[in-house]
Structure 1
Amino acid sequence: MNEQSTSFTYADSKVHPGRWYAVGCLIIFYAISMVDRFILSAVAQPVSQSLGLTNTQMGLLLGAGFAILYSVAGIPVAYLIDRGNRTRIILIGVSLWSLMTAASAFTTDFSTLLICRAGVAIGEAVLTPAAMSLIGDMYLRKERALPTSLYMATGNIMATGAFLIGGAVYQYAGTQQLMPAMEAWRFTLFAVSLPGFLMVVLFALSVREPARVTSQPTEHKTTVDALLPFLVGNKAMFIPFFLATGMISSLTLGVISWAPTLLIRLHELTASHASYVFGSVGLPTSVFGTLCLPWLAGKLQKAGRPDGIILILMLSVAIPVPAIIAGLLSGQYWLLVTAFAICMMFLPSISVMTCLGMQMISPSRLRARTVAVNLLVINLFGYTVGPFLSGLLADRVFSGPAAIAFALATMAAVIGPVAILGFLFARRHFGQMMSAQKD
Structure 2
Amino acid sequence: MNAPIASASADRLRSIADHETGAYKWYVAAVLGLAHTIAVIDRFVMVLVTEPIRAAMQLSDTQLGLLQGTGFAILYCGFAVPLGCVADATNRRNLIMAGLSLWSLATIAAAFTTSFETLFATRILVGMGEACLIPAGMSLLATYFAPANLARGTSIFGLGANFGYGFAFLGGGAILAGLQASGGLALPGIGRLEPWQGIFLIAGAAAVPVLIMLLWLREPPRRPGSAVEKGMAAQLGAMREGFGYLWANLRSYAPFLLIGAMTAVTGYAMTSWSSSLFVRVHAMSAADAGKLIGLIGVIAGPLGTISGGYLLDRLRGKGVAGAPLIIMAGGAIVALLTAIGVGYAPSLPVAAAFFCLFIFESTFVLPSLYVGMQLLTPDRYRGVAASFNMMIYTLAGLGLGPTAVGAISDHLTGSKGLAEAVVIVEVAMVLIIVPTAWLARRRYDARMRAAAA
Shorter-chain TM-score bucket reads 0.7 to 0.9
Structure 2: unaligned runs, 5 residues or longer: 1-15
| Residue 35, structure 1, aligned to residue 41, structure 2 | yes
The whole-number CA distance in structure 1 between the counterparts of 2:156 and 2:301 is 12
Deviations 1:144-182 (A, max 9, x none): 444444533542453344211210121222327653711
Higher RCO, 1 vs 2 (CA within 8 Å, ≥6 residues apart): 1
Contact 1:87 1:209 in 2 (8 A): no
Contact 1:164 1:280 in 2 (8 A): yes
The whole-number CA distance in structure 2 between the counterparts of 1:233 and 1:147 is 34
| Residue 202, structure 1, aligned to residue 213, structure 2 | yes
1:407 alignment partner in structure 2: 421
The whole-number CA distance in structure 2 between the counterparts of 1:422 and 1:142 is 37
Root-mean-square deviation (CA), in Å?
3.1
Please identify, of 247-256 and 209-218, the stretch whose mean Cα deviation from structure 2 is larger: 209-218
1:152 alignment partner in structure 2: 158
Structure 1 residues 44-123: aligned runs within 5 Å:
44-123=50-129
Counterparts in 2 of 1:288 and 1:224: CA distance versus 1, 3 Å = closer
Counterparts in 2 of 1:222 and 1:183: CA distance versus 1, 3 Å = closer
1:343 alignment partner in structure 2: 358
Counterparts in 2 of 1:103 and 1:315: CA distance versus 1, 3 Å = same
1:385 Cα deviation from its structure 2 partner: 0.9
Residue 22 of structure 1 aligns with an amino acid whose one-letter code is V
The whole-number CA distance in structure 1 between the counterparts of 2:442 and 2:139 is 27
Q: Percent identical across equivalent pairs?
A: 26
The whole-number CA distance in structure 2 between the counterparts of 1:363 and 1:23 is 27
The whole-number CA distance in structure 2 between the counterparts of 1:238 and 1:142 is 30
1:19 Cα deviation from its structure 2 partner: 3.0
The whole-number CA distance in structure 1 between the counterparts of 2:202 and 2:89 is 35
Q: TM-score, normalised by structure 1?
A: 0.86
* Partner secondary structure for residue 181 of structure 1: strand
1:419 Cα deviation from its structure 2 partner: 2.1
Match of 1:312 among 327, 331, 342: 327
* Partner secondary structure for residue 106 of structure 1: coil
Contact 1:240 1:425 in 2 (8 A): no
The whole-number CA distance in structure 2 between the counterparts of 1:129 and 1:432 is 30
Match of 2:407 among 392, 402, 409: 392
The whole-number CA distance in structure 2 between the counterparts of 1:337 and 1:106 is 33
1:227 alignment partner in structure 2: 242
Residue 265 of structure 2 aligns with an amino acid whose one-letter code is S
Counterparts in 2 of 1:102 and 1:356: CA distance versus 1, 3 Å = farther
Residues paired across the two proteins, number: 426
1:130 alignment partner in structure 2: 136
Whichever of the two has the greater Rg, that structure is: 2
Q: TM-score, normalised by structure 2?
A: 0.84
Structure 1: unaligned runs, 5 residues or longer: 1-12
* Partner secondary structure for residue 114 of structure 2: coil
1:407 Cα deviation from its structure 2 partner: 0.4
1:183 alignment partner in structure 2: 194
| Residue 294, structure 1, aligned to residue 309, structure 2 | yes
Contact 2:315 2:323 in 1 (8 A): yes
Match of 1:324 among 339, 342, 356: 339
